[in-house]
Amino acid sequence: MLQIRGRPLRLLLSEERIKSRVKELSREIEEHFGEPFLVVGLLKGAFIFTADLVRSLSIPVQIDFMWVSSYGSSQESSGHVKVIKDLDTDLEDRRLLLVDDILDTGYTLREVYKLLKLKGATEIRTCVLLDKRERRKVSFDADYVGFEVPNLFLVGYGLDWDEEGRNLRGIYAVE
């Protein structure tokens, strides 16, 4: 059985389910944009999801990454995000898709959304693979959601538990 630090992992979403949902999301996204756009992935958690999503798109896109961390304890965000690595791309008059691994309290996406708006983006759509709705602390919903998930701590497909588990191909609950 798979384990991280002695804690067993239970499979929640298989590689195959993720793959087919990523395809569906990319169809919806390209139908909406209809022309080249910018994809902004949030490091580190969204690196695998972003990579799979953009390879599933048939419209050419530009890709950039931003690395933010939220203040507070390691398992829960707070209302402030610190930009560790900013974008290289000029956002003036750009239409973009902001991608994250999971929407939890909502602080991270809400804050990053505001930052990107201030940088001049004309349209920002948000896409998350996972949504833990019951954990939301601020009202923020993503335009595209892969799966709604229960309030469990999850690892795999980019998500980590203290930097472990990101490379797992499926998504697992830490028991």
Annotated catalytic residues are 104
Q: Is residue 156 within the footprint of Mg ion (CB under 5 A)?
A: no
Nearer to ligand IMP, 33 or 68 (CB): 68
Least distance (Å) between residue 144 CB and ligand IMP = 15
**33 or 112, CB closer to Mg ion?**
112
Q: For residue 108, state whether it binds ligand IMP (rule: CB under 6 A).
A: yes
The yes or no reply on residue 153 touching ligand IMP (CB under 6 A) is yes
**102 vs 121, which CB is nearer to ligand IMP?**
102
Does residue 45 touch ligand IMP according to CB under 6 A?
A: yes
Q: Determine if 158 is a binding residue for Mg ion (CB under 5 A).
A: no
How far apart, in whole angstroms, are the C-alpha atoms of residue 50 and residue 65? Answer: 9
* 45 is a contact residue toward Mg ion (CB under 5 A): yes
- Note whether 41 binds ligand IMP by CB under 6 A: no
**Cα separation of 168 and 17, whole Å?**
14
27 or 85: CB nearest ligand IMP = 85
Residue from the set 33, 47, 49, 107 that interacts with ligand IMP by CB under 6 A: 107
Instruction: For residue 126, state whether it binds ligand IMP (rule: CB under 6 A).
Output: no
Q: Is the dihedral of CA 174, 170, 68, 97 positive or negative?
A: negative
**Strand 171-174 to 7-13 pairing:** antiparallel
* Cβ contact 68:82 at 8 Å: yes
Instruction: Kindly give the residue spans of alpha helices, DSSP state H, lying in 35-106.
Output: 47-56
Q: Is 120 exposed, middle or buried (0-12, 13-18, 19+ CB in 10 A)?
A: exposed
* Whole-angstrom distance, CA of residue 126 vs CA of residue 141: 8
The rounded Cα 86 to chain-centroid distance in angstroms is: 16
> Where on the chain is the footprint of ligand IMP (CB under 6 A)?
45, 70, 77, 100-108, 153-154, 159-160
